[in-house]
Amino acid sequence: MIHSLFLINSSGDIFLEKHWKSVVSRSVCDYFFEAQERATEAENVPPVIPTPHHYLLSVYRHKIFFVAVIQTEVPPLFVIEFLHRVVDTFQDYFGVCSEPVIKDNVVVVYEVLEEMLDNGFPLATESNILKELIKPPTILRTVVNTITGSTNVGDQLPTGQLSVVPWRRTGVKYTNNEAYFDVIEEIDAIIDKSGSTITAEIQGVIDACVKLTGMPDLTLSFMNPRLLDDVSFHPCVRFKRWESERILSFIPPDGNFRLLSYHVSAQNLVAIPVYVKHNISFRDSSSLGRFEITVGPKQTMGKTVEGVIVTSQMPKGVLNMSLTPSQGTHTFDPVTKMLSWDVGKINPQKLPSLKGTMSLQAGASKPDENPTINLQFKIQQLAISGLKVNRLDMYGEKYKPFKGIKYMTKAGKFQVRT
């Protein structure tokens, strides 16, 4: 199925390649580079690129393109999901997934990729199974391997591979038994000039960190499970029980994993947590323009909006900007015309604002359209969809675990038109 994998950095250099079925020449990536040149941003490169003899499927994460080469018809989402699993595995193994880290651990990377695919077909993609097959790198293990010439490959097969629960190893023991769940929601929205919502949707995930002794059986129930549509589960979830009772019943993998991802697209269910008041004006005859924006909270259930960053791509005619923020710091790059304002926390009693003037090219015509404003923000302890976990129960083991649920809302692609 997957013949080769190429890792390409943002400069367009192939810094790692892995072949399974047959060696595919690097020249196949020229089609990818052409598509990359046509795209204005890295995120806009088409995920599927047909070539005369191959298909190129790619994902872009951590400023790296993961490009898979296939020769036959396969479901594209199958390959894309596998590529995301590769990135998540690298992140789990090395802490971060970046070009320098991958280069530093290139032997482990090749060993992991060899186990994840067998003759081009996915084999072991569960992180805790892989960690039994290929030991994660540590300083001591690296030194020992260098001196003795040994590798990180495990001595025996993972116990989970031979059981009916392949995602969980047997004989797990912990002194502290804990189960933590993070409900993380990303809101994508486009707001028009008048403040009305053109489109809004929520992409949500529930990430888990489960460290429990033995073979526990967990059930997780929600206050309002009907909110969730387009739900994607980890293989451990019993789907029939979810369909009939809307309860998540599962034997969890050991350690970190994504329990489910979901989508909320009904406009009436998506609350917009922030608003932007803006006054951006260009005059025909003048070389000066006016710029004024204010950011405030809205429908946040009393929670604090923090980590607010406002960015805007100004028109080419703007030479410079003289602005004064009421809080935070701002920068304007006269070359790229990118304005960035790091606001920080929003205090509802004193709303942050950025005001000032723009210097425009003399004699140049007024810009055709006003710039759009992009927002990033985080709200702790709030799931903007209103999703709430009702209870978490454990069966099959005698001890009482420590349980914790955390909520967070953050901005995905959040755009305000002016």
Q: Is the pLDDT of residue 76 over 60?
A: yes
Q: Classify domain 178-270+382-416 by CATH architecture.
A: Sandwich (2.60)
Report d(CA 37, CA 33) in Å as an integer. Answer: 6
CA distances from 314 to 7, 29, 334, 347, 418 (A): 33, 33, 10, 27, 12
Beta bridge partners of 114: none
Q: Given 3.40.50.10070, 1.10.275.10, 2.60.40.1170, 3.20.20.70, which CATH number is that of 274-380? A: 2.60.40.1170
Query: What's the confidence (pLDDT) of residue 230?
Result: 86
Banded model confidence at residue 274, pLDDT cuts 50, 70, 90: very high
Over the stretch 122-155, which tens digit does the pLDDT of each residue have? 988 888 788 888 888 876 666 666 666 666 666 5
Query: What's the confidence (pLDDT) of residue 302?
Result: 87
Upper half-sphere CA count for residue 384 (Cβ side, 13 Å): 38
Mean pLDDT of 336-346: 93
Range with top average pLDDT, 118-127, 175-184, 291-300: 175-184
Report d(CA 338, CA 353) in Å as an integer. Answer: 18
Query: What's the confidence (pLDDT) of residue 39?
Result: 87
CA distances from 348 to 274, 294, 297 (A): 11, 12, 7
Query: What's the confidence (pLDDT) of residue 128?
Result: 78
Q: Which of 136, 122, 276 is nearest to 192 (CA)?
A: 276
Question: In this structure, is the dihedral angle defined by the CA atoms of residues 344, 346, 349 and 350, taken in order, positive or negative?
Answer: positive
Question: 178-270+382-416: same fold as 2-148?
Answer: no
Q: Is the pLDDT of residue 406 over 80?
A: yes
Domain 2-148 grouped into CATH 3.30.450.60: yes
Query: What's the confidence (pLDDT) of residue 160?
Result: 53
What is the overall mean pLDDT for the chain? 89
Query: What DSSP line would sit under 176-222, residue for residue?
Result: S-EEEEEEEEEEEEEE-TTS-EEEEEEEEEEEEEEE-SS--EEEEEE
The model's pTM: 0.84
Percentage of the chain beyond pLDDT 90 is: 66
Beta bridge partners of 294: 277, 353
Of the listed ranges 232-246, 274-288, 320-334, the one predicted with least confidence: 274-288
Range with top average pLDDT, 35-49, 77-91, 221-235: 77-91
Query: What's the confidence (pLDDT) of residue 21?
Result: 86
Q: Nearest-5° angle of CA 216, CA 218, CA 224? A: 175
Q: Per the structure block, which two tokens stand in for 227?
A: 């909110």
Over the stretch 361-387, which tens digit does the pLDDT of each residue have? 877 777 878 899 999 999 999 999 999
Q: How many CB atoms lie within 10 A of CB 91?
A: 17
Report d(CA 258, CA 182) in Å as an integer. Answer: 10
* Residue at 151: amino acid letter: T
- To the nearest 5 percent, what fractions of the chain are helix, strand and coil? 20, 45, 35
The answer to whether 204 touches 226, Cβ cutoff 8 Å, is no
Q: How many CB atoms lie within 10 A of CB 125?
A: 18
Question: In this structure, is the dihedral angle defined by the CA atoms of residues 347, 385, 81 and 245, taken in order, positive or negative?
Answer: positive
Q: What are phi and psi of 295, to 5 degrees?
A: -115, 135
The answer to whether 57 touches 48, Cβ cutoff 8 Å, is yes
Domain ranges of the chain: 2-148, 178-270+382-416, 274-380
Mean pLDDT of 85-113: 93
Residue of 127 and 326 predicted with greater confidence? 326
Percentage of the chain beyond pLDDT 70 is: 93
Banded model confidence at residue 185, pLDDT cuts 50, 70, 90: very high
Q: What are phi and psi of 24, to 5 degrees?
A: -100, 130
Over the stretch 23-64, which tens digit does the pLDDT of each residue have? 999 999 999 999 999 987 888 899 999 999 999 999 999 999
Of the listed ranges 129-143, 322-336, 401-415, the one predicted with least confidence: 129-143
* Residue at 186: amino acid letter: E
Report d(CA 93, CA 293) in Å as an integer. Answer: 43
Q: Per the structure block, which two tokens stand in for 407?
A: 């909520």
CA distances from 407 to 79, 299, 379 (A): 30, 16, 9
Q: Any residues with CB less than 8 A from the CB of 39 and at least 6 apart, and which?
A: 45, 46
